[in-house]
Chains A and B, each alone.
Chain A
Amino acid sequence: MSRKSFPGCFSRMTWKKHFFKETCCQCGASDTEIQNEELEERGKGRKRKKKNENKRVIVSNLPFGSKKWKENPNRYYDTNEIKTTKYTIITFLPKNIYEQFHRFANIYFVFIALLNFVPVVNAFQPEVSVIPICAIMVITAIKDAWEDFRRYKLDKEINHMGCYIYSREEHAYMEKCWKDVRVGDFVQLQCNEIVPADILLLHSSDQNGICHLETANLDGETNLKQRRVVMGFSSQDTVFEPEFFQNTIICEMPNNDLNKFKGYMEQPNHEQVGLNIENLLLRGCTIRNTEAAVGIVIYAGHETKAMLNNSGPRYKRSRIEQRMNRDIFSCVGLLFVMCLVGAVGHGIWTGKFWEHPPYDVPDWNGNFVAPVLAGFYMFLTMIILLQILIPISLYVSIELVKLGQVFLIHNDIDLYDEEADLPIQCRTLTITEDLGQIQYIFSDKTGTLTENKMVFRRCTVDGIEFSHQENDRRLKTQRELDLEDFAKLQHFTLPPMSLERPATYKPSTVRPLRRCQSDRAHSKGHTRSRSVGRRDSSQSQVAFSSPIEKDVTPDSRLLRRVREAALQTESFSPFLHMKTSTSFTDFFLALAICNTVLVSTATEPRQRVTIPPPIKPSGITLEKIHQIFQRLKLASLSQSFSSSQSSSQLGATFSAKSTEEPLAVLESCDNDNDGSAGSGGQELQDKGSTEIGTASLDEVFRSATNASLPADFCYEAESPDEAALVYAAQAYGFVLVSRTPEQVTVQLPQGTLLTFDILYTLGFDSVRKRMSVVVRHPLTREIVVYTKGADSVIMDLLDNSSKGDISSDKRMKRIKERTQKHLDYYAHDGLRTLCIAKKVLNEDDFQKWANFRREAEAAIDNREELLIETAQHLETKLTLLGATGIEDRLQEGVPDTIVSLREAGIKIWVLTGDKQETAVNIAYSCKLLNQRDTVFTINTENKETCESLLNLTLEEVKKNYECNKPRRKFFGIIPTSLPSPEAPSPEFGLVLDGRTLSTIFQAGLEEKLLELARHCRSVLCCRSTPLQKSMVVKLVRRQLKAMTLSIGDGANDVSMIQAADVGIGISGQEGMQAVMASDFAISRFKHLKKLLLVHGHWCYARLAKMVIYFFYKNVCYVNLLFWYQFFCGFSGSTMLDYWQMIFFNLFFTSVPPLLFGVLDKDVSAETLLRLPELYKSGQNSEIYNLSAFIITMLDAFYQSLICFFVPYLMYKDSDMDVFSFGNPINTIALLTILLHQALEMKTWTVLQLVTMLCSVALYLIFSVTYNAACLLCNPPTNPYWIMERQLKDPTFYLLCLITPVIALLPRFFIFALRGTLGASLVLRAQHVEKLPKEQQDLEIQKLRSRKEAASSAPVASPASNDDLDQSISHLCVSPFLHPAAALSPRDTENLGVSAPNPLGRRTYEEGYYFFNRWAEEESAAADSSSGPSSGHHPLVASREAAPGQDGNYLKSFNYHRRSVSSVTL
């Protein structure tokens, strides 16, 4: 039933399939001679191989051995040795340099370094000027080398893992390394071993030729997959002899599709056997429950599907980097201007002289160049001189800082999920700061907002609804219990809990299998980009069986009916199965049977229960028992059947109600028939019966089921829905005991076991949206088809043909109608609905169909389509049994997270494949929509209608918006004024479905949609396909130029995750595809809150400030040189020693900004979480935008002017020499630049202090030693002993003191003004942090309320403030609260009035016709335009009047939910 079991790229897959079909057809058609020729040709040369690229031919390696290796056609295929390293020791240098030159900046700097070798233009000593670029490149190279080395080590580890390969010399399987495995080798695998390559299964120790495979490492699905031995090989009972294998395997070329494999095996007698994915063991998977398996290697090493799927980390460019690149170009412009000034200045200066002065030195040959040429040369010289205006170290610094940021995010304990033992995984290292700028979040629903833990909530059988109120109650308490448990967990009191619930909380120390190990090893090999394997706690082993899902409290009414029905079935099934009550039995039988759930026992989770437990020796004996039973019952106990009080359990019935005699007979029969073997179950039943006596029904039932079960069964299902249904059936006594491909055994409420022969299982697919099981009923020998699927599909497939019996026809119709009504209610309640139906086939029809099916299965081409077709053929004329409603519970903390994110100014869209009603309800319950909101629903397939609807809605929204706008401003001033009763809620919600979306895309109405969506608080897209999801994301991203984030957990979210700027995968239960495609992988939706609000904010603030600082630093420093040009005739002369210049950037001022970029915190995490509005600073790019850049540039100019001209004016007309003048300037610049950094720093830890001081100390130490030691280090410039002399000079100190003060005074002044006045929210938050705890709460509340009152945009509704409001309300009654909140007393009254009948407000009829005008207009439009769309309600605008205080909202909503069910009953 897994909605997501099909990858998002469905269309692509089908295309591929067709493509392959063609090629495959060719090779299938061509006769074997040609193939043999081809085979020989392949051997001749590699070039030939290219010819037939679309298939691969594999033969056994054994005949070739080591001598004739050259004749082996397999020798061209990749070996199993994997090498994910980019470089080898030899190629590292050239390759790495080549890679680095892909970066534009590096080319630029190398060009400049080379330019410096041209004598006429050189500004520095050429040899020295190469140092900076070399340093940068060396650092980058070291980083690359380290990463590559790590990869190398992991590769080595994997390559040296052992496996058994058949050796011809030894005639046995010998242990070899993974890397020695070659295509064509025979590999023997044992249980729990990891598959080393893609292997075609030829032999399995299982007698049915089945091998169980755990693919969790590949797709994250925890259930076991079955793989079959290739047809023809399975029949061999003897040991598989590789040496006799003479077949040729022809298959497709390696590809990355994990779910497809095509090929055929040709036997020496030219017979062909089709191969598919069922026969392939994929590299990285683990063999389970199979003692040994043998196969031939098909793909090895990098050609395996697992490796082809591993694309490695992606490189994304963050928004800051994009802006940075732009600013770098403006820096280039600045550089150009400055160089031009220098060039022109030099030309003029040179032209001034009518005779060359002695200081104008001619060139090498004694010639002087013309002023124009001199100017041109000077231009080049100036480029060299001012090159560091382009921040050379910025790229490397950013990379380092991001590494640090990722490290800290990864290590955040708050983002660690204890249950799954998973910290956050950062798969992309380059976009941490994008997390701080998100404007739109696109979220999947199932598994992302919800837990994807399905809980059976209610069902309808035969048109009768069973509300399961007890179950509701249990769930509620369970939830509370859960929270308590969580608290307990946090206090590390595990033991009592594990006692309480042994199944789920099997503590992680006890692990039946070394699953973790395999995960680990695997994750290194194939999916190294994802940091670590999957969750490996016991949780995954009993995947979908937390007690919430497992223990379903049965509905007493239903229970009673079931019991009745069961009894009747027992007795009259051959004759009276059309009676009403049988549909109850059928319903639960269907729940238990119609699935692909695997059974295991709690004690041995991975040990499949394939043989029914000892209660039942064999099916035949059971039947005998039944026959005896029935005879007995018919003979003696007719009276008890009429009694509605009769117990559900047969044993109990007998003991409690009837005489002892029949039981004795039964027992004797039993014993006679199968001796001691059968007595176990009977004993249990006896025990149950004696204990119970006359206890209440429920108790009887419960104890009976518990007692009769040999052990606690664990069910592992492909989708959680299935498991939930099986558990529900279990609650009613229909226990799924075992399942093999051929048989399924169910224990009936009476304790008897029925073994159905499974004739066919028609699996779920997204086209049919249903699955079916064809079984033969063991008692009636009837062939029954049980089908379950989406209601929309099943309802259409029901048997409508009248059978002449009018009453039964009517009844069926009535049941159908009522069931449909119930289904609507379920959906409305946010439940996932499934319909259960059955069909009885007669033998002839079945045989006909079976033939058809067999053909389809045997078909090589077109098989998929044929299979679907046959399945569809069978699933018709069904009889409706009932429907179920399963709740997908919201994840913990989802509403809170959504509220916080919305307060942070992020718009949240939910894109789901689910039904509209379900989605809308989930949206309400997770506070995505508010009860007060006006929700527009647009469902249409017609373009014109769609357009007019959009226009209308837009008009309405704008009207509302405009009339609200001035009022809200008005509130800002006089918040006590009452809002008009007409429009208390300015918020809008928009609900679309997939068809509407595609209509919008087709009709080109995207802009209208976006405009509408911009005014809406949230947008819901239901029933949308993966493609539509990604289209919506792309639309918003491109058209609105907004920063988008996608979050999802399933394969259907992959395209959406990839389309967004930031993709987040939830490493939940639905597999790893989403995680593999994501940039960050978290395990809970609630982690998003801290990830965005705290880490996002920090990363953005840190990086933005750091980038700005780098620009500042370089401009400020370089300008010192520029100003000097005005005093040296624009000759390109420098007053700074070049070494000191290099070191200035490399060492003295590099570490503090790096540390700043990693560690600075402008606001603490707690405040950020409590005041989500702080996030907006990142959203609006407040820290790093154009104005910030310009201001910084101006400040840099000012500071450099000061740093230059204060010393200049001081030393003017003195006997200062060039370098003695440069030395104080260098010192001053260092101090100024560091102090500037210090001003920016908001957090001073020891680390920051130490690096700051170290930077200054390092500078001094370096300068002193350099000036003392270097006499001829850097000829002809020679700063010998300058530093020492100046350190003795008091004016040097005075100068170094005053200049930074003057330089930073304006900045500090602005800072002081802003800081003390609290100009921005961030600054105020910083102030608040200093306050004591209680005051903090008060202040934060004040900030929030003021924000709300002041902002003209509808930012945060007070709904968001729930938690805080409550905690604070006793402290503060602020008049700044939202106007609606100010009305609280009256509204609470309103609530009291409306509460008794909230349903009336929410019923569909009213909702549909609430906006009468629109409805009319719409119908008119629909009539005029086209027919088909008028069938449904294209626009539903349901406006909910505000029930008032938001704290009460949830309660009222819950209440409302319950009332729905009470009405239906």
Chain B
Amino acid sequence: MKNKTSVVPREGEAQPSRCPDNSAFKQQRLPAWKPQLTIGSVLSSFFLTGAFCLTVGVCLVLSANSVREVQIDYSDKCSNCSKLRENSSNWNKECHCSINFTLKEDILGDVFMYYGLQNFYQNHRRYVKSRSDAQLLGRNVNIQRSYCAPFSTYRNGTPMAPCGAIANSMFNDTIDLFYNYNSSMIQVPLLKTGNSWWTDKNVKFRNPESSNLSAAFAGTARPPYWQKPAYLLDEEDERNNGYVNDDFIIWMRVSAFATFRNLYRRLRRVRRFAEGLPAGNYTFRISYNFPVTKFKGRKHVILSTVVWSGGSNPFLGIAYLVSGTAATLAGFVITAIHLKLRKKKTYFQKQ
């Protein structure tokens, strides 16, 4: 480049030539691989891709098909409750409803119970932001200046614990599953812990340090929509209470879409349910608290197993199958075009 040689040569010293270095880099002669789109390489790449995709696709579809899933929409089935909840003044009144369903065949293996919400935009920008991670880490922070507003403090200045719109709108239905066995209702044992990510439970969420939980939350108030304060979320298990409550943690992990499901309970595989859920009649007992009608939302409860390739969604397998087919087809198209044009080519060459 210009002024590259800035050293003034002294008298008597030979002037260095300004001839550029004859190095491979400067002369742009670095050894290089030049991929060439020859007909052979092109066709083989298409057909190999096609074959690979088709194989993987078949595997994926098969595995997705092995997933057993039961999904029950209970937003209409508990119409009285939903009507009750439409009026927000009734928030304190309890409402229960039961939903019966029948499993025609056993669901073997680990069974997961999800609650599903439809048309609930957890991914809304202002909603996503409305939380204080620092508070959830158990730190004593001034949430007034956090993103929680306007769900940070009450008018009298009492801070909410936990603050923010996400925490405030936490899903608070209680769902229990009963197995109707010989006209007796056996409650299916379900695990309410271990559902959240280990890192969330142990790193990301922390209760404030204190001798006991209620003391830790002293000076704070529950969010306006909550029926009970944070330290009473799970009265049975001290380690599943406050900010580290699994249901709370899962709710705080805002979902990507307006229609989503969150893991609620896992089947505790003991006794009768050691193999999974046996076929038969079941009943969901739901304490209906979460209002959805005002935003035309729907609530589901879902029982599902999980395989290595995820849940019941067969899309990935289909995607592989489709793209495999497309690649193979493209290969054929190219072959066809070439066969057709080769005649012309030879014609040209003969000329």
Contact = CB atoms under 8 A, between A and B. Distances in A.
B127 A361 contact: yes
A578 interface: no
Contacts of B128: 1133, 1218, 1276-1277
Contact of B199 (A520, A1159, A1281, A1290): A1281
B147 A1161 contact: no
Contacts, number: 310
Contact of A357 (B137, B261, B294, B327): B294
Given A1294-B60, A1309-B330, A1315 B125 contact: no
B241 interface: no
Interface string B57-92: 000100000000000000000000000000000000
Interface stretch (A85-93, A224-232, A391-399, A410-418): A410-418
Nearest to A355: B294
Interface in A1312-1345: 1312-1317, 1323, 1326-1327, 1329-1330
A666 B60 CA distance: 119
Nearest to A1327: B36
A1372 to B, nearest CB: 13
Interface string B128-140: 1111111001000
A1305 interface: yes
Nearest to B263: A1215
Interface stretch (B10-18, B182-190, B230-238): B10-18
B310 interface: yes
B337 A1313 contact: yes
A943 interface: no
B311 A1214 contact: yes
B315 A1210 contact: yes
A343 to B, nearest CB: 14
Given A410-B20, A1213-B313, A1272-B137, A425 B2 contact: yes
B137 A1271 contact: yes
A1244 B35 contact: yes
Given A1135-B256, A1216-B255, A154 B351 contact: no
A712 interface: no
A423 to B, nearest CB: 5
Contacts of B116: 1213
B323 A1305 contact: yes
Interface centre among A418, A1128, A1215, A1291 (most CB of B within 10 A): A1215
Interface in B30-74: 30-39, 42, 45-46, 49, 53, 56, 60
A1314 B18 CA distance: 44
Given A362-B150, A1214-B311, A1291-B310, A1131 B121 contact: yes
B26 A408 contact: yes
B116 to A, nearest CB: 7
B53 A413 contact: no
Contacts of A359: 120-122, 124, 127, 165, 169, 295
A224 B207 CA distance: 91
B218 interface: no
Nearest to B295: A357
Contacts of B133: 1271-1272, 1275-1276, 1278
Contact of B37 (A364, A1135, A1311): A1311
Interface string B308-349: 111101011001100100110010001001100100000000
Contacts of A1218: 122-123, 128, 254-256
A162 to B, nearest CB: 13
A102 interface: no
Contacts of B6: 150, 153-154, 157, 524
A106 B16 CA distance: 43
Contacts of B262: 1215
Contacts of B334: 1309, 1312-1313, 1316
Contacts of A664: none
A1298 interface: yes
Nearest to A1214: B311
B323 A361 contact: no
Given A1247-B30, A1295-B316, A1315-B42, A1280 B203 contact: yes
B3 interface: yes
B5 interface: yes
Contact of B134 (A418, A532, A1208, A1275): A1275
Interface string B100-127: 0000000000000010100011111111
B311 A1317 contact: no
A1131 B263 CA distance: 26
Interface in B158-189: 165, 168-169
B14 A509 contact: yes
B316 A1291 contact: yes
B149 interface: yes
Interface string A1219-1252: 0111000000000000000000011111100000
Contacts of B255: 1215-1218
A238 B320 CA distance: 101
B9 A520 contact: yes
Given A359-B165, A1128-B121, A531 B2 contact: yes
A943 B350 CA distance: 56
A620 to B, nearest CB: 43
Contacts of B330: 1305, 1309, 1312
Interface in A525-572: 528-532, 536
A804 interface: no
B2 A528 contact: yes
A1222 B199 CA distance: 19
Given A364-B149, A1216-B255, A1294 B11 contact: no
A521 B36 CA distance: 50
A1161 B35 CA distance: 12
B124 A1280 contact: no
A1135 B256 CA distance: 7
Given A1212-B259, A1327-B36, A1294 B127 contact: no
Contacts of B33: 1243-1245
Nearest to A1299: B319
Contacts of A1301: 49, 53, 323, 327
Contacts of B168: 358
B138 to A, nearest CB: 12
Nearest to B259: A1213
Interface in A132-161: 150, 153-154, 157
Contacts of A521: 8
Nearest to A1301: B323
A1206 B38 CA distance: 31
A1127 B257 contact: yes
Nearest to B264: A1215
A978 B260 CA distance: 78
A330 interface: no
Chain A to chain B: the 7 pairs with minimum beta-carbon distance, closest first: A1315-B37, A357-B295, A531-B2, A358-B169, A1221-B256, A1133-B125, A411-B20
30 contacts: A123-B125, A366-B150, A412-B20, A413-B19, A413-B26, A421-B17, A425-B2, A517-B15, A520-B8, A530-B2, A532-B3, A1127-B256, A1159-B30, A1211-B313, A1213-B259, A1214-B261, A1215-B255, A1218-B128, A1244-B34, A1271-B137, A1275-B132, A1276-B146, A1294-B56, A1294-B316, A1301-B49, A1305-B326, A1305-B330, A1312-B46, A1315-B36, A1317-B337
Given A353-B294, A360-B126, A1220-B256, 9 more contacts: A357-B295, A361-B127, A412-B20, A422-B18, A1133-B123, A1277-B129, A1281-B197, A1298-B323, A1312-B334
Interface of A: 123, 150, 153-154, 157, 353-355, 357-366, 381, 403, 406-408, 410-413, 416, 418, 421-423, 425-427, 508-509, 511, 514, 516-517, 520-521, 524, 528-532, 536, 1127-1129, 1131-1135, 1159, 1161, 1165, 1206, 1208-1218, 1220-1222, 1242-1247, 1271-1272, 1275-1278, 1280-1281, 1285, 1290-1291, 1294-1295, 1298, 1301-1302, 1305, 1308-1309, 1311-1317, 1323, 1326-1327, 1329-1330, 1375
